[in-house]
Structure 1
Amino acid sequence: MFHLIVTVCLAASSQSCAPVLLPEGDAGDLANCEAGAARIAEGWMEGRTDLRAAGAACTANADLPAAPLQEIAPGVHVQLGEPVQMEQSANGRIANLGLVIGETVVVIDAGVSRAEGQALYVALRRLTDRPVSHLVLTHLHPDHIFGAGVFAEAGAEIVVHAALPDALAVRGPIYLENVQQLYPPAEWIGTEVPVPDRLVAGTERLELGGRALILTAHPLAHSESDLTAHDTGADVLFAGDLVFRQLAPVVDGSLPGWLDWLAAPPRPQPRLIVPGHGPVAEGWDQAVAPQRHFLEALAASVRQQIAAAVPMSLAVEAVADALSPLSGDWNDFDATIRRNATAAYKELEWE
């Protein structure tokens, strides 16, 4: 397979450029790719006044950078991100991403940038030429969503929690600005806030032909927009950031809500669980026990400070000190514990 690659630069800087893969230009041979290249590139550039094209070429799939995938079950592939916070990463590629291949392909999360989404797309095309029918975004955080554009252009319907569009309308531009400040332009040129197509408010079934995914929208927990995907055939649960492993969990929704979710495992329990961060887990207890212990300790310590009428400005440091024995169990504990303590205090003081 050949892919159409357009070199795209920031309009204000001829030195800030990146290769942008346009799936519409995919072809089985070089001649067919080149035949439509100019038209497709011109169409994609239309309206993007902050960018300019600096050339286009058709490149063989084997010559492009691809995401490192591992098959964890028949037809189920994952890319494991680096389990650190975005600020500690050179390119933001910290989230776990997935592919489920039936007669069509479902992508689970798209990464932090178009560049990461493109690498996942190239890897996907090394596995199959079947159509990409859906992209499931497990929640709104930037490390999971900003590679969506390449899959939307490949024909995928973007499926999200019903609460995600409103949250994204508020946070999306801020998240994109943060990505642009953290990483060099070559990492984020062409990256845009995704536009969801399909909203899930309860439970829905995605048919892939020969296998299915069960999507479940959850109440306020890690975030306001947590959506899980269960491949019933392979018995693999993509949990998004409802499950953290190795990387310190981040409370951005409701601490009691998250603990309630952890206290009610799915029935039957899935065989494999793909967390939002960290290694794939074999079974529920392996997946959630350390995180549950961390969040229970956070809740208990914050409640203790509130009961003692300690003001938040002092309580946050006290909670950080109290939980410091857990720091060796989690990457970037110091970078997140005060944020977690602050979020928990603001919520729990109104119990």
Structure 2
Amino acid sequence: MLFAVLSACLAGNPAFCGPVVLTGRPFDTVSECREQAPRFAADWLAGQPGLTQDGLECRALSDLAALPLQPVAEGVHVHLGQIAPFEDSPDGRIANLGVVIGRDSIAVIDAGTSRAQGQALLAAIRGISDKPVSHVILTHAHPDHALGASVFAEAGAAVVGHGRLADALRTRGPVYLDNMTRIYGSAAMIGTRIVLPDVAVTDRLEIDLGGRVLTLTAAGPAHSDSDLTVLDRTTETLFAGDLVFRGLTPIVDGSLPGWLAWMEGAGHGGMIVPGHGPVAADWSSAILPQQTFLTALGDATRQTLDAGLPLSRAVPAIVEALRPLSGEWIAFPDSAARDATAVFKELEWR
């Protein structure tokens, strides 16, 4: 299996270049690739204003960068992201990504921070299966989960997300992309673009990969306003997205009461793949530390509101109240302060 690989550069600034794997069509032979690659490259560049071609070659699958994937259940593979905030990561690859292989096709759960990471995920998938990727399911809009989706869309996958995902990506996606480019540089983000969902899940949706059914469930505002879980019914593996954090300090970008309510009402009897941190064998170990942290966050915030503290004084007081829990969480000080600010604003008028 061979792929055409385009060296794409920022127009007018050839110092910023990166490899773009043209995923729409793998080739069986070098001659076929060399004959057709120029047309594929021209078609791709036509939709990428601001990019120019610096080179084009055919590469074997074994020559492409590939993410490490580990099997966690029959036909279920996970890439474990770095347990770190963006600012402490060299490339932003901090989210867990999933792959479920059915009889007929494959579903990808979350696509990473950049086109480069999405390409590396696809290369890893092709190392274990040549079945088509029929769906890329985005558990929410945050950049570490959503910005690599174009790789799979170009390969023919339907993009699936929460009913609110399209609006979230329209309004916040460009900011996310700018922020990732600022942190990691233009070359690392070459070819990365926002892709809106083809399929919106407002309640539940089942996807059949061929003898293997995934149940997608939309949540109300919780970690974010576009959270979606994915249950592989064959193995009872639940991909929880960022509704479950392990190790990395939880971030409230939706609704704290909504998140706490989700944890109370969800429950699960099988394995849980969190958005960040190690896979959990049971529900209690997956959510108990997070539930303790978020409950304490709510309690401390309400205490500052009852005391009549302004935001400027409330945030350090909330962080200090949470400090006994800090040993369990990476990136605690900055993330706790961010959470305190968001939750104070949410609960202020309740």
Scaled to the shorter chain, the TM-score interval is over 0.9
Find the aligned partners of 1:151 and 1:254 in 2 and give their Cα distance. Answer: 30
Q: Name the CA distance, whole Å, in 2 between partners of 1:131 and 1:322.
A: 50
Deviations 1:50-92 (CA, angstroms, capped at 9, x unpaired) = 0001111110111111000000001100000001111111100
SS in 1 for 2:265: coil
Give the aligned partner of residue 29 of structure 2: 29
Amino acid at match of 1:57: E
Secondary structure of 1:175's match?
A: helix
Contact 1:265 1:284 survives alignment (8 Å): no
Q: Which residue of 1 aligns with 2:273?
A: 274
The alignment status of 1:300 with 2:299, answered yes or no, reads yes
Q: Deviations over 1:167-208 (max 9, x none)?
A: 211101111000110002221000001121010000010000
1:290-316 deviations in whole A, cap 9, x for unaligned? 000000000000011111111111010
Q: How does 1:336-351 map to 2 (within 5 A)?
A: 336-351=335-350
Q: Which residue identity lines up with residue 169 of structure 1 in the other structure?
A: R
Partner of 2:142: 141
TM-score normalised by length of structure 2: 0.98
Paired residues of 1:211 and 1:232 also in contact (CA < 8 A): yes
Match status 1:319 vs 2:318: yes
Q: 2:25 touches 2:155 (CA, 8 Å); kept in 1?
A: no
> What is the SS of the residue equivalent to 2:34?
helix
Give aligned pairs, total.
349
SS of the residue aligned with 2:127?
A: helix
- Structure 2 equivalent of residue 20 of structure 1: 20
Q: Is the 8 A contact 1:25 1:37 kept in 2?
A: no
* Residue equivalent to 2:332: 333
CA distance in 1, matches of 2:48, 2:11: 10
Letter in 1 for 2:349: W
1:121-200 to 2 correspondences below 5 Å = 121-200=122-201
Please say if residues 7 and 17 of structure 1, whose CA atoms lie closer than 8 Å, have aligned partners that are also in contact: yes
For residues 237 and 173 of structure 1, do their structure 2 counterparts lie closer, same or farther at Cα, with a shift above 3 Å needed?
Answer: same
Instruction: Give the match's secondary structure for 1:282.
Output: coil
Question: How many Å separate the matches in 2 of 1:165 and 1:270?
Answer: 31
Query: By how many angstroms is 1:218 displaced?
Result: 0.6
**1:199 maps to amino acid:** A
CA distance in 1, matches of 2:209, 2:143: 27
Other-structure match for 2:264:
263
Shift of 1:49: 2.5
- Across the aligned residues of Structure 1 and Structure 2, the Cα RMSD in angstroms comes to 0.9
1:59 matches 2:85: no
The offset of 1:35, in angstroms, is: 2.0
Alpha-carbon separation, structure 1, partners of 2:300 and 2:181: 36
The answer on whether the counterparts of 2:169 and 2:196 sit within 8 Å (CA) in structure 1 is no
Q: Distance in 1 between matches of 2:327 and 2:283?
A: 22
**TM-score, length-normalised on structure 1?**
0.98
**Contact residue 237 and residue 270 of structure 1 kept, 8 A:** no
Gap regions ≥5 residues in structure 1: none
Q: How much identity, in percent, do the aligned residues show? A: 51
Counterparts in 2 of 1:67-86, with a 5 A limit?
67-86=67-86
Query: Mapping of 1:29-48 within 5 angstroms?
Result: 29-48=29-48
User: Which position in structure 2 is the counterpart of 1:213?
Assistant: 214
Give the letter aligned to residue 56 of structure 2: A
User: Quick one: distance in 1 between partners of 2:131 and 2:258?
Assistant: 39
Which residue type is aligned with residue 25 of structure 1?
R
Tell me how far apart the structure 2 counterparts of residues 194 and 24 of structure 1 sit (CA, whole Å): 15
Q: Provide the secondary structure at the position in 2 that maps to 1:321.
A: helix
CA distance in 2, matches of 1:57, 1:34: 8
- 2:245 pairs with 1:226: no
Tell me how far apart the structure 1 counterparts of residues 226 and 111 of structure 2 sit (CA, whole Å). 16
